[in-house]
Amino acid sequence: MALTTNKAISNWIDEMAAMTQPDQIVWIDGSDAQIEALRAQACSTGELEKLNQELLPDCYLHRTAVNDVARVEDRTFICCRKQEDAGPTNNWMDPQEMYAKLKALYTGAMKGRTMYVIPYSMGVVGSPFAKYGIELTDSIYVVLNMCIMTRVGAAVAQVMGDDFVKGLHAKANLDPENRYIVHFPEDNTIMSVNSGYGGNVLLGKKCFALRIASYLGRNQGWMAEHMLILGIQNPAGEVRYLAAAFPSACGKTNLAMLIPPEHYRKAGWKVWCVGDDIAWIRVGEDGRLWAMNPENGFFGVAPGTNEKSNPNALATTRRGTIFTNVVHNLDNNTVWWEGLDKNPPANAVDWKGNPWNGQTSTEKGAHPNSRFTAPAKNCPCISPEFENPKGVPLSAIVFGGRRAKTAPLVYQSLDWDHGVFVGSIMASETTAAAAGAVGVVRRDPMAMLPFCGYNMGDYWQHWLDMGTKVDADQLPKIFNVNWFRTDDEGHFIWPGFGDNLRVLEWIMKRCFNEVEADETPLGYEPRPEDLDLEGSGVDVDTVRDLLSVDKDLWLQDVDAIRAFYAKFGDKLPKKLAQELDALESRLKQ
């Protein structure tokens, strides 16, 4: 039964149904009974496998098609009327042309199938900062994931009125040549076809909460960012918040759920997770910047998650979780992935669905971008502010990426505008989260290269403008971090994970004027002896090395940045060009 009688909604659904021609239409109310029935149905067709319910209650396994395991950036489009508004970093096509092309792909695509109607909320339902969407899909896997990742149900259908983002997803025949992930920001519309992989099909996530929302945010004076949000509680009991943007598979989920090193724990330090992937940031009533997490779950990278690296993430996946493209351990009907433990199962099925012996196989059992979809409420360190519709006030914004050599462990920008510059010049080695080569350094400003729904030059200007809406002393301080510097053998020098708190502590001290810093051509850096290294296994000299700035490498980077900036023509804010010149002259001094 329809969950709303709103005409705008029913007309649009009728139109989409006339095109895709499903056998039936089913509204998703998100009730336990409905979810249970859908799980059973998906198990009966093999779309899901029910895991050991004693060890992993309400947990299921799914395998995608082998050619459909990551976001497809080359098939992701921003279709606005003027190409200039999409900018040089987005694929663009004229909206009418794209609608016509897609119509051919969607026509009859749901014949013999069910169209599910998912009313969902990004943010706490009914709160002033929530935004609503409806996703139409022919995939039960998508329905069940959306019920974890977003707030779904009748209440949402009631409050959304006419103001909702339209999302249409059809698996069609999963043809990679006709796979399209398309955004029409001017029409509040998302269309996804021929994929069944998370980031391409869970339309509330990257498509809405970043690409559409970044466009809305620019028009409405707020920001949608690819950022985790966390609270750091110090021994005095104060909680200070930061948001951090790292590219895909560069450590957001891990940082967001960090467990402090032992002596910090003993002293009373705690980290609270508010979000692990997306932050919507606004100016609050008190004039500060506040960040809220619009999601309701985690779609996290499985490989590398273990009892030591991220016990909180592991605990989060122990119930109500969908695992995608991991190893199926047949002995006890549980799951496994590379980096979970040193004991891969011998009697298992790999991510492709083939028999797999982890003791003898030289091939990976889980896909490097295999994922878990887990409810946020499972997380042992979920912040008490998680359900606060306003989110949390930010003291710091942190940028970071994977850089084997250039970027130091941490540095602080000179001020907001310089911080925007620092975000704009981010670069990182590519990962398995997107289809294509892995380990290639590319520029990824603010970790938003694949997610900005408009011209990146305008986006930078929007960042600069946001800085003028907040008093200078109230603005978050902006930092850059790099956990991924390697030695000559290619090993990570910094221990990372929980030990990253040592750097976050320094960052927070800087925000509250509790520690001095050294000035370098890049900005402010810690005096090595100011980082608490107790129990880290790292000595001060190593830290000095991790903080070193290789001027020759940086001058080469300046040239690369200049070439990158040139792509934006007039859209490049003058302020950023000036910041680049200033960096160059500081490096040459």
Contact between 277 and Mn ion per CB under 5 A: yes
Residue from 85, 225, 277, 444 touching ligand SPV (CB under 6 A): that is: 277
Site string for ligand SPV, 461-500 (x = CB under 6 A): ----------------------------------------
Q: Check: CB of residue 407 under 8 Å from CB of residue 425.
A: no
Whole-angstrom distance, CA of residue 448 vs CA of residue 210? 8
Piece of the chain touching Mn ion by CB under 5 A; list 158-166, 275-283, 381-389, 393-401: 275-283
Residue from 62, 63, 71, 211 touching ligand SPV (CB under 6 A): that is: 71
Min separation Cβ 208 and ligand SPV, Å:
12
Element (H, E) at 456: helix 456-468
Q: Which is nearer to Mn ion, 248 or 310 (CB)?
A: 248
Among 90, 158, 115, residue whose Cα is nearest residue 22 = 115
Whole-angstrom distance, CA of residue 348 vs CA of residue 351? 10
Interface size with ligand SPV, residues (CB under 6 A): 9
Q: Check: CB of residue 418 under 8 Å from CB of residue 523.
A: yes
Q: Could you tell which of Mn ion, ligand GTP, ligand SPV, none binds residue 171, using a CB distance below 5 to 8 A set by kind?
A: none
Q: What share of the chain is helix, strand, coil (3-state, %, to 5)?
A: 35, 25, 45
Site string for Mn ion, 242-261 (x = CB under 5 A): ------x-------------
Min separation Cβ 406 and ligand GTP, Å:
16
Min separation Cβ 299 and Mn ion, Å:
8
Instruction: Report 185-214 residues binding ligand SPV (CB under 6 A).
Output: 198-199, 205-206
Instruction: Report 246-265 residues binding ligand SPV (CB under 6 A).
Output: 248
Contact between 75 and ligand SPV per CB under 6 A: no
Fill in the amino acid letter for 103.
K
Contact between 218 and ligand SPV per CB under 6 A: no
User: Residue number with the shortest CB distance to Mn ion?
Assistant: 277
* 295 three-class SS: coil
Q: Which is nearer to ligand GTP, 168 or 407 (CB)?
A: 407
Q: Could you tell which of ligand SPV, Mn ion, ligand GTP, none binds residue 132, using a CB distance below 5 to 8 A set by kind?
A: none
Exactly one of 79, 250, 273, 381 is catalytic; which is it? 250
Min separation Cβ 198 and ligand SPV, Å:
4
The set of residues, in sequence order, having a beta carbon less than 8 Å from that of 465 and lying 6+ positions away, is none
Whole-angstrom distance, CA of residue 183 vs CA of residue 191? 7
Fill in the amino acid letter for 172.
A
Report how far apart, in Å, the C-alpha atoms of 548 and of each of 23, 147, 403, 411 are.
Answer: 63, 46, 13, 11
Interface size with Mn ion, residues (CB under 5 A): 2
Among 157, 570, 566, residue whose Cα is nearest residue 580 = 566
* 469 three-class SS: coil
Contact between 151 and ligand SPV per CB under 6 A: no
Q: Both tokens of residue 152? A: 């779904």
Classify the C-alpha dihedral 521-511-130-20 as positive or negative. positive
Chain residues that interact with ligand GTP, rule: CB under 6 A = 246, 248-254, 276-277, 300-301, 303-304, 309, 433, 483-484, 492, 496-497, 500
Min separation Cβ 205 and Mn ion, Å:
8
Contact between 138 and Mn ion per CB under 5 A: no
User: Residue number with the shortest CB distance to ligand SPV?
Assistant: 199
Q: Check: CB of residue 303 under 8 Å from CB of residue 309.
A: no
Reduced 3-state DSSP string for 388-452: CCCCEEEEEEEEECCCCCCCCCEEECCCHHHHHHHHHCCEEECCCCECCCCCCEEECHHHCCCCC
Min separation Cβ 574 and ligand SPV, Å:
31
Contact between 444 and Mn ion per CB under 5 A: no
Among 516, 537, 539, 535, residue whose Cα is nearest residue 527 = 516
Min separation Cβ 298 and ligand GTP, Å:
8
Could you confirm whether 207 is annotated as catalytic? Answer: no
Report how far apart, in Å, the C-alpha atoms of 419 and of each of 35, 120, 233, 579, 587 are.
Answer: 45, 34, 25, 10, 17
Min separation Cβ 423 and Mn ion, Å:
16
Among 316, 434, 381, residue whose Cα is nearest residue 72 = 434
Contact between 68 and ligand SPV per CB under 6 A: no
Contact between 433 and ligand SPV per CB under 6 A: yes
Q: Which is nearer to ligand GTP, 98 or 433 (CB)?
A: 433
Q: Which is nearer to ligand GTP, 139 or 253 (CB)?
A: 253
Label the pairing between strands 227-233 and 151-152: unpaired
Piece of the chain touching Mn ion by CB under 5 A; list 35-43, 272-280, 333-341, 381-389: 272-280
Min separation Cβ 213 and ligand GTP, Å:
16
Instruction: Report 285-324 residues binding ligand SPV (CB under 6 A).
Output: 299
Fill in the amino acid letter for 376.
A
Which residues are catalytically annotated?
Answer: 250
**Site of interaction with ligand SPV (CB under 6 A):** 71, 198-199, 205-206, 248, 277, 299, 433
Chain positions contacting Mn ion, by CB under 5 A: 248, 277
